[in-house]
Amino acid sequence: MNLVKTSLLSLASTAAKMVTGLAISKALAIYVGPSGLAVVGQFQNFIQIVLTAAKGALDTGVTKYTAEYRDDEARRWRLFGTAARICAVSCTLVAFLLIGAAEPLSRHFLHTGDYAYVMRLFGATIGLFVLNSLLLAILNGLQEIQTYIFVNIVQSALTLVLTTLLIVSLGLDGALIALVTNQSLVLCVVLWKLRHHPVVRVAAFRTAFDREEAIRLSKFALMASISAVAAPLTSILVRDHITRSIGQQEAGYWQAIWYISSVYLTVVTTTLSVYYLPKLSATDDKQALRSEMRNGYAFILPIVMVVAVGVYLAREVVIRVLFTEQFAPMAELFRWMLIGDVVKLASWLVAYLMLAKAMMKSFIATEVIFSASFVLLSMMLTSRFGLVGVTYAHALNYLMYLLAVAVLTRRFWL
């Protein structure tokens, strides 16, 4: 399946995710306001970090090696069995931690112990998140794009219904409950779709633990865990800084513009994870890699630029439609946030080479350095320019990141 077809299929999935994300954002804006939106964003970042630990950060490695072992069933089964056992152990440990330390975790991340029950609920349901994620990573590696997209669309629809009902009924509590329970419904879709699958069978997950496969996965686990923890941890630190130095309302505005950015870039992230990672992982020819890179820049980058310009020109309408009049002050954040998003996309197309080619040291170094630099730049620029300074930091940081990853991966594309 080529890039254009994958992108078109991804567009359907993205449309569903966009509608879901925007509708949920609207419900949050109406029922919990900017300050509540900041709390939800904080909890979402916490969930990302916890899920990375619970999954053993194996998603990327499972996708890569499932694609690489496409003609070797024995190695594929060893991969599935090893991944399942690692996930089971890490998930169990994380679940006990969430349940046992629910109150201090709630106080630290949500600034109140009132949501300890949400932490315990998360501990009880986290196994469903992990299983769902593992199965989707395998589907992605098998490059069964149509099945992968179908599952994502149905999951988006179920998430929209459940989350909206809980927000309308319970407000902020409902939003937090939805975040930790929606996988209990959406996993059913994956299991139903895979019930007669010729490759993804229960027997494969019973295969004995394989030390060599575990070592291979550990490289990707380390890279993915750094990436998956660095991004949400950075968001938590920046949001905390905005809350303490400017105010929680302003932290809500930052969360809102971040939501908009995340939603319209979803089509790109879906295409990169569904098409690019398996494709680059299975390609060793330098000329073929160059061709894939050219196709990516020629096809994806112009689309993102056009969408970014459209969002900027319609920013006031976007705020009214997606949020409420309370969020009007966030209009000043759009320009440099969107410029930073275009640069972010350009850097991702190159950075995926580091993942696909297991450039562990380079990947980890860039993730750590540029996560830290974003926090520092945000602190420096918000102290001088106010809230808009965080968007300056966003754009400047991704420009530096693009230059760094281009230099580090030059041997693959020059």
Each residue's pLDDT tens digit, 33-57:
888 888 898 898 899 889 888 887 7
**Which residue type occupies 186?**
V
Tokens 């630190």: give the residue. Answer: 237
DSSP conformational letter for 325: G
**Side-chain-side CA neighbours of residue 195 (13 Å):** 6
**Residues in the chain with pLDDT < 70?**
1-11, 267, 270-278, 281-282, 284, 358, 412-414
Measured distance CA(151)–CA(85) in Å, rounded: 24
3-state secondary structure of 56: coil
Task: Give the pLDDT of residue 274.
Answer: 65
Measured distance CA(198)–CA(178) in Å, rounded: 33
Taking the CA atoms of residue 80, residue 119, residue 24 and residue 189 in that order, the dihedral angle to the nearest 10 degrees is: 30
Measured distance CA(405)–CA(348) in Å, rounded: 9
Measured distance CA(37)–CA(18) in Å, rounded: 17
Task: Give the pLDDT of residue 7.
Answer: 60
**Which residue type occupies 269?**
T
CB 137 within 8 A of CB 277: no
Task: Give the pLDDT of residue 378.
Answer: 97
| Residue 284 φ then ψ, to 5° | -110, -20
Contacts 24+ apart (CB under 8 A), 193-200: 193/147, 193/150, 193/151, 194/135, 194/139, 199/73, 199/76, 199/138, 199/142, 200/80, 200/135, 200/138, 200/139, 200/142
Task: Give the pLDDT of residue 325.
Answer: 87
CB 200 within 8 A of CB 138: yes
Task: Give the pLDDT of residue 55.
Answer: 84
Task: Give the pLDDT of residue 12.
Answer: 73
3-state secondary structure of 101: coil
Residues 6+ positions from 354 with CB-CB distance below 8 Å = 223, 362, 363, 366, 405, 408, 409
Task: Give the pLDDT of residue 175.
Answer: 93
CB 32 within 8 A of CB 175: yes
- The two three-digit tokens of residue 89, written as one number: 């152990």
**C-alpha angle 184/187/189, rounded to 5°?**
125
